[in-house]
Amino acid sequence: MSARVLAGPPTAEALLRDAAQRAGRLPAVPHLAIVRVGEDPASVSYVRGKARKAGEVGLRSTVHVLPETASQAELLALIAALNTDDDVNGLLVQLPLPAHIAEAAVLHAIDPRKDVDGFHPLNVGELWAGRPSLTPCTPAGILFLLRHHAIPLSGTRAVIVGRSSLVGRPLAALLLEADATVTVAHSRTRDLGSVTRAADLLVVAVGQPGLITPDMVKPGATVIDVGINRVVDAQGKGHLVGDVHPDVAGVAGALTPVPGGVGPLTVAQLLANTVHAAELQAAGHLQSGTSSGDRGEFVR
Ligand code: NAD
């Protein structure tokens, strides 16, 4: 038996088509502002990829770069300016930030209506209260992938390995909303295999190549491999691999590849979130237009 491959690129295209259609119903082309601090090569590459994809699907984007030495106050001033700029619908600050800048202060400062990464505490709280709005891109992209491939969620046992704020925690909230029975495992979980073997849906977001071996997977389970690990083979050639051992394909019912699985969904979801942010703001403006005509409420 070999698992059905849940390919990311065509699924991401479907998500982008849907986002582009929704964008077409808005009064203006949605605009994503991306802030980068410093020249970390991975951040430079991620930001370039996000801006390029935005252009490909017909959204506007601008990239604002501050030097590595920029102060927290300078970054907060830029965020404040972008928050009040009505021409900007979505705003994200590329992480990680230089060590002298407090990440929490920066994430708090972003207008929750423009928070396309879904990291503002208001959006995190709304997600856990069962009212998801702007939600973190990787977990939201995974939900889209599961629904797109008609993977049943309601009543199923879902196990997430990894409890980061970026992936594991928000995904747990989204799967609860989808009526799955959710377990979150992490670095202190005892006998990880006994936990993962119970899963109809197993999502792995750890960052350890080959962590999940075939004996840890229930036959026929859906396995979502979020991990992205750079490894060098015996010939000295670099490769990207996930957290799931390739032999799991012989046990699982469906499996996402690495690369070409969850990765493309993350960027597509960012652009879908930008459209959603623009929709929220358009609704807010309509509401405020009946009263004082100012910026309106955070409408969900
Ligand atoms: P993180 O380092 O913030 O969190 C890792 C989690 O794994 C922690 O919660 C930790 O408790 C858990 N963990 C560590 N060792 C473990 C073990 N032996 N058994 C069980 N749990 C263990 O990482 P992250 O930001 O959540 O990213 C996880 C992986 O997903 C990385 O490889 C990252 O590159 C990748 N990632 C991919 C995408 C994408 O778009 N495909 C997006 C985000 C992250």
Known catalytic residue at 235: no
CB-based contact 238:232 (threshold 8 Å): yes
Q: Is the pLDDT of residue 247 over 90?
A: yes
Q: Is the pLDDT of residue 300 over 80?
A: no
> Range(s) for CATH 3.40.50.720 in the chain?
135-262
Cβ(227) to ligand 1 under 6 A? yes
242-259 mean pLDDT: 98
Buried-exposed string 178-187: b where 16+ CB fall within 10 A, e elsewhere: bebbbbbbee
Known catalytic residue at 117: yes
pLDDT of residue 169: 98
Report the atom number in ligand 1 closest to the C-alpha of 242.
Answer: 32
pLDDT of residue 284: 84
- Helix pair angle (168-177, 137-148), 10° resolution: 40
Q: Does this complex have an ipTM over 0.90?
A: yes
Known catalytic residue at 72: no
The position carrying tokens 């700029």 is 85
**Parallel, antiparallel or unpaired: strands 181-185 and 157-161:** parallel
For residue 194 the two structure tokens come to: 């006994």
209-231 mean pLDDT: 97
Cβ(257) to ligand 1 under 6 A? no
Q: Which residue type is seen at 239?
A: H
What is the CATH topology of the domain spanning 135-262? Rossmann fold (3.40.50)
> Range(s) for CATH 3.40.50.10860 in the chain?
25-111
Segment 84-140, tens digit of pLDDT: 999 999 999 999 999 999 999 999 999 999 999 999 999 999 999 999 999 999 999
CB-based contact 251:197 (threshold 8 Å): no
Alpha carbon 38 to its chain centroid, in Å, reads: 22
Q: How far is the CA of 92 from the centre of ligand 1 (A)?
A: 21
**Parallel, antiparallel or unpaired: strands 229-232 and 222-225:** unpaired
Binding-site entries for NADP(+): 162-164, 228
Torsional class of 64: left (φ above 0), alpha (ψ -120 to 50), beta (otherwise): beta
Average pLDDT, the chain: 94
Q: Does domain 25-111 have CATH number 3.40.50.10860?
A: yes
